[in-house]
Amino acid sequence: MDDETARAQVLAAADRLYYRLGIQAVGMDALRAESGVPLKRLYRLFSSKEAIVEQVLLGRRQMWHTLVDEAMSTGDSRERLLALYDALARWFDQDDFRGCVFINSFGELGTTAPRIAEIVRSHKAEFQARLTALVAEAGGPPSLAAQLAILAEGAQTTAAIAGTSDAARQARQAAEILIDATIGSAASKTEGLSGR
């Protein structure tokens, strides 16, 4: 097996184990057993456990972008914003759902691993920027994007604790109210100004 294949096997094993059990609960011996890559080679491929965590998070970032891209691929801007919560509901219904890997990682390592905290913060900022662009396209203010992001983040945490997808549906209902109230009031103010 070449190094690229071995790296991929280690990262796939780490992703499964870290997500299911938590980062601190998984030692290098467990990664060796799950991946089938000898410990000596594992240490040669990755300088530290933190380096593995970083790579897992970067892979999960791409998975998240794919989920969001697919959810927001059709419809007008309002429909695309709400489709995010429908995608969350489908994700929450998966048997292996254990919450947001970024929130989980930050909870475990955020204060002791600055690079991990930086990756998590960057990921969350990218998500909010994506929502900000879509909200602007719909004619809404940046504050609406922040509110919609909080609903999505809260839904992820609540669903992980509750073990159901109800939080996604509840977040979607709240998002509809916020979008309609904010964009509807912004549109009516614009119409009122143009009528003067």
Read off the pLDDT of residues 119-175 as tens digits, 9 standing for 90 and up: 999 999 999 999 999 999 999 999 999 999 999 999 999 999 999 999 999 999 999
Report the C-alpha gap between 112 and 105 in whole angstroms.
11
**Residue 185, pLDDT above cutoff 60:** no
**3 part of a folded domain:** yes
- Enter the pTM of the model: 0.85
Residues 28 and 114 in one domain: no
Q: Which domain holds residue 67?
A: 59-194
Residues making up the chain, counted from first to last: 196
Please give the tally of structural domains in the chain: 2
**Residue 105, pLDDT above cutoff 90:** yes
Is residue 128 within 8 A of residue 146, CB to CB? The reply is yes
Give every CB contact of residue 162 below 8 A, 6+ residues apart in sequence. Answer: none
Residues 80 and 169 in one domain: yes
Residues 42 and 83 in one domain: no
**86 part of a folded domain:** yes
Report the C-alpha gap between 74 and 42 in whole angstroms.
43
User: To which residue do tokens 């809260």 refer?
Assistant: 154
**147 part of a folded domain:** yes
Residues 73 and 37 in one domain: no
The residue among 141 and 193 whose pLDDT is bigger is 141
> Torsion over CA of 153, 158, 164 and 166, rounded to 10 degrees?
-70
Residues 114 and 184 in one domain: yes
DSSP helix/strand/coil, 171? helix
The residue among 94, 152, 98 whose CA lies nearest residue 123 is: 152
The residue among 134, 154, 137 whose CA lies nearest residue 145 is: 134
